[in-house]
């Protein structure tokens, strides 16, 4: 027998022994846990401070709770007796006692696929039947922790506020939501793309129907399953649309565009002032739920590389990205998106109906506070008005608002770039270079996942796209949705100080229906210096 064959045989024997040792250790640990970790009965909350039992009889877990827990200051005054911790009626509950009551088990840093008791609930991403697909379960509550089939937490970045509420005693971690009367007022029915695992990979297409399609799991099995999408209706009120209507450029039809209720004077009497208008809209809030194999495929990288990058660059926040390759779903701690629909939602799937689309990435400074250094708000308002006009012509309009502040670089980076631009001579030829100097890249929005929401809505054709972005246009077309017409922001809507941005984008290849800009032209486009305005 060759030395290579002998080495392989020895290695196989060693691995077999290690596996047997691990199984034996897990069995012993399970017995030890059952002897040393008594069941903690739920303790009744008083004065809004819940202390439920969260013990988990899970072996092979990692280090115990730290001896010096991080202090948590509760705004509520709670006695120990009211929480069932001490017979002394007036003794206040310490943070250590609260921590022990909330988290009586040892700290669970991670789990492993072959660990004792671990059995993820079946997840078949892309299955047409939701019962076959299975619910998204990421909860660490005792009722669900062993059946989790997703990594992360619901609500994206807002999950941190939930953690604070639980630590402070204002929220019970075992609170069971009452979803009655929360169903969508407008239907977003299943589409063929929902059962195509390559079409929707960045959120759960069944997310708005969770209380209906996963009723068995919620009510009979007691699993902690939550909606990740909510659909509702509303009226949109914008002063810019008021002004456009006053100019006669939009028509009040009583269906899409409505006259606002009369204004009131300070004394409560009805005012004679023009109250303006309101837009009738349907809207959906969507939280991200990533199917990791599909996301990796979109970006042309391996799933293992994606998992490692997510693990490393969140500071090791989610160890199960590397220890649980069997779990394919991840709820990232980022913002989601909002869909605004103008006109009948049923028209979204009808290719014969004209459809106008704007995909807009968040710009808080402009969209909310009216900063004039960019064209974000003027372009958004223009797109909303175009959607209204399309709906009034018998079609439907869609604005998708993504939380990707500062080209997904964040607002801090954005403001640092502003400082550099204003101090270094704010010219169009330096526009993208300024961002690269600070962030290392000029844009991190990566539009590969963006078309998912269009497929979720059942959109098959876009007649009008209000966008100059080639990245957005290419992502949509390459996903299989044709775009018949695209148009840019009208010249008269561009604020003077944002001319730098627009000219730099056009020169870089962004779509423009009329203007051609050369590199020589860019140096001539200069923004306003700080000294030109009062601060």
Q: Is the pLDDT of residue 500 over 50?
A: yes
Residues 6+ positions from 380 with CB-CB distance below 8 Å: 358, 360, 367, 399
Cβ atoms of 125 and 152 within 8 Å: the answer is no
DSSP state of 65: P
Angle subtended at Cα 59 by Cα 55 and Cα 65, rounded to the nearest 5 degrees:
55
pLDDT tens sequence across 367-415: 999 988 888 899 999 999 999 999 999 999 999 999 998 888 898 988 8
Q: Which residue has the tokens 């827990």?
A: 69
pLDDT tens sequence across 460-484: 999 999 998 899 999 999 999 999 9
Q: Is the pLDDT of residue 255 over 60?
A: yes
What is the full DSSP assignment across 128-193? SSHHHH-------STTTGGG--EEE-TTGGGHHHHHHHHHHTSS-TT-----TT-S-SS-----GG
Q: Is the pLDDT of residue 31 over 80?
A: no
Q: Give the residue, 514 or 187, on which the prediction is more confident.
A: 187
Q: Measured between alpha carbons, how far is 460 from 200 in angstroms, rounded to an integer?
A: 14
Per-residue pLDDT band at 5 (split at 50, 70, 90): low
Angle subtended at Cα 117 by Cα 112 and Cα 119, rounded to the nearest 5 degrees:
75
Q: Give the residue, 37 or 240, on which the prediction is more confident.
A: 240
Q: Is the pLDDT of residue 6 over 70?
A: no
pLDDT tens sequence across 270-289: 999 999 999 999 999 999 99
Strand partners, 396: 355
Per-residue pLDDT band at 311 (split at 50, 70, 90): very high
Q: Taking the C-alpha atoms of 97, 98, 104 and 105 in order, what is their torsion angle to the nearest 10 degrees?
A: -110
Q: Residue 52: name the closest of 176, 147, 151, 217 by CA.
A: 176
Q: Measured between alpha carbons, how far is 142 from 30 in angstroms, rounded to an integer?
A: 16
Q: Residue 468: name the closest of 358, 363, 337, 385 by CA.
A: 358
Strand partners, 359: 400
For residue 61, how many other CB atoms are within 10 A of its CB?
17
Active site residue 443: yes
Q: Measured between alpha carbons, how far is 191 from 413 in angstroms, rounded to an integer?
A: 39
Q: Give the residue, 261 or 438, on which the prediction is more confident.
A: 261
Q: Is the pLDDT of residue 25 over 70?
A: no
Q: What is the pLDDT of residue 68?
A: 36
For residue 75, how many other CB atoms are within 10 A of its CB?
8
Q: Which domains does the chain have, with CATH numbers?
A: 130-227+294-325 (no CATH), 233-262+274-288+332-533 (3.40.50.10990)
Q: Taking the C-alpha atoms of 327, 329, 333 and 339 in order, what is their torsion angle to the nearest 10 degrees?
A: -170
Per-residue pLDDT band at 103 (split at 50, 70, 90): confident
Q: Which of 387-391, 503-507, 509-513 has the highest mean pLDDT?
A: 387-391
The residue annotated as part of the active site, out of 445, 470, 521, 528, is 445
Q: Residue 224: name the closest of 162, 315, 309 by CA.
A: 162
Count helices and strands (H / E) in the chain: 19, 13
Active site residue 242: no
Per-residue pLDDT band at 356 (split at 50, 70, 90): very high
For residue 498, how many other CB atoms are within 10 A of its CB?
23
Mean pLDDT of all residues belonging to the chain: 82
Q: Measured between alpha carbons, how far is 451 from 460 in angstroms, rounded to an integer?
A: 11
Residues 6+ positions from 451 with CB-CB distance below 8 Å: 475, 476, 479, 481
What is the full DSSP assignment across 250-302? S---SSSEEEPPPPB-TTSPBP-S---EEEEEEEEEE---EEHHHHHHHHTS-
The residue annotated as part of the active site, out of 443, 452, 488, 503, is 443
Q: Residue 184: name the closest of 148, 228, 233, 146 by CA.
A: 233
Q: Is the pLDDT of residue 34 over 50?
A: no
Rounded percentage of the chain residues whose pLDDT exceeds 70:
74
Enumerate long-range contacts of 128-131, CB under 8 Å, 24 or more apart.
Answer: 128/190, 128/194, 128/195, 130/206, 130/209, 130/213, 130/214, 131/213, 131/216
Which contiguous run of DSSP H or E holds residue 51? strand 49-51
Structure tokens at 293: 């194999």
Q: Is the pLDDT of residue 66 over 80?
A: no
Q: What is the pLDDT of residue 59?
A: 38
Residues 6+ positions from 318 with CB-CB distance below 8 Å: 151, 152, 310, 311, 330
pLDDT tens sequence across 210-238: 999 999 999 999 999 999 999 999 999 99
Handedness of CA 184, 186, 192, 197 (dihedral sign): negative
Q: How far is CA 339 from CA 118, 179, 343, in A?
A: 37, 22, 13
Per-residue pLDDT band at 83 (split at 50, 70, 90): very low
Q: What is the pLDDT of residue 143?
A: 86
Q: Is the pLDDT of residue 140 over 60?
A: yes
pTM above the 0.85 mark? no
Q: What is the pLDDT of residue 526?
A: 53
What is the full DSSP assignment across 434-451? HHHHHHSSS----GGGTT
Q: Is the pLDDT of residue 498 over 70?
A: no
């Amino acid at each position: 027998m060759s030395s290579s064959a002998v080495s392989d045989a020895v290695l196989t024997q060693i691995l077999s022994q290690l596996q047997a040792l691990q199984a034996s250790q897990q069995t012993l640990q399970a017995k030890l846990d059952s002897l040393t970790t008594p069941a903690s009965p739920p303790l009744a909350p008083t004065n809004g401070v819940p202390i439920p039992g969260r013990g988990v009889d899970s072996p092979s877990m990692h280090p115990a709770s730290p001896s010096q827990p991080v202090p948590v200051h509760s705004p509520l005054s709670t006695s120990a007796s009211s929480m069932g911790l001490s017979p002394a009626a007036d003794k206040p509950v310490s943070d250590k006692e609260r921590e022990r009551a909330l988290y009586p088990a040892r700290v669970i840093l991670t789990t492993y696929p072959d660990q004792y008791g671990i059995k993820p609930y079946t997840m078949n991403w892309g299955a047409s039947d939701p019962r076959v697909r299975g619910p998204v379960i990421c909860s660490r509550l005792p009722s669900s922790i062993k059946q989790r089939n997703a990594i992360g937490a619901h609500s994206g970045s807002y999950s941190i506020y939930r953690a604070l509420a639980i630590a402070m005693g204002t929220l019970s971690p075992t609170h069971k939501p009452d979803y009655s009367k929360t169903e969508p007022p407008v239907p977003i029915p299943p589409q063929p793309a929902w059962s195509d695992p390559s079409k929707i990979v960045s959120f759960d297409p069944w997310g708005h129907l969770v209380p209906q399609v996963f009723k068995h799991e919620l009510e009979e099995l007691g699993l902690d399953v939550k909606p990740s999408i909510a659909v509702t209706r509303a009226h949109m009120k914008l002063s810019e649309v008021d002004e456009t209507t006053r100019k006669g450029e939009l028509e009040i039809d009583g269906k899409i565009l409505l006259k606002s209720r009369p204004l009131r004077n300070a004394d409560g009497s009805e005012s004679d002032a023009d109250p303006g208008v309101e837009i009738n809209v349907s809207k959906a809030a969507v939280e991200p739920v990533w199917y990791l194999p599909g996301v990796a495929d979109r970006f042309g990288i391996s799933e293992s590389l994606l998992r490692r990058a997510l693990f490393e660059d969140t500071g090791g926040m989610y160890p199960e990205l590397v220890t649980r390759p069997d779990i394919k779903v991840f709820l990232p701690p980022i913002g989601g998106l909002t869909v605004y629909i103008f006109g009948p939602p049923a028209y979204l799937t009808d290719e014969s109906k004209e459809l106008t689309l704007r995909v807009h990435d968040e710009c808080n400074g402009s969209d909310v506070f009216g900063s004039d250094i960019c064209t974000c708000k003027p372009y958004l308002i223009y797109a909303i008005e175009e959607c209204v006009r399309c709906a009034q012509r018998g079609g439907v309009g869609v604005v998708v608002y993504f939380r990707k502040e500062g080209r997904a670089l964040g607002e801090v980076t954005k403001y640092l770039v502003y400082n550099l631009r204003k101090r270094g001579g704010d010219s169009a030829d330096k526009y993208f270079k300024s961002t690269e100097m600070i962030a290392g890249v000029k844009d991190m929005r990566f539009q590969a996942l963006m078309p998912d929401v269009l497929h979720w809505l059942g959109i098959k054709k876009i007649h009008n796209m209000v966008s100059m972005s080639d990245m957005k246009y290419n992502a949509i077309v390459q996903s299989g949705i044709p775009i018949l017409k695209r148009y840019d922001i009208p010249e008269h809507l561009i604020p003077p100080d944002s001319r730098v941005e627009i000219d730099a984008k056009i020169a870089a290849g962004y779509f423009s229906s009329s203007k051609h800009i050369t590199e020589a032209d860019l140096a001539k486009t200069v923004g306003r210096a700080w000294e030109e305005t009062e601060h």
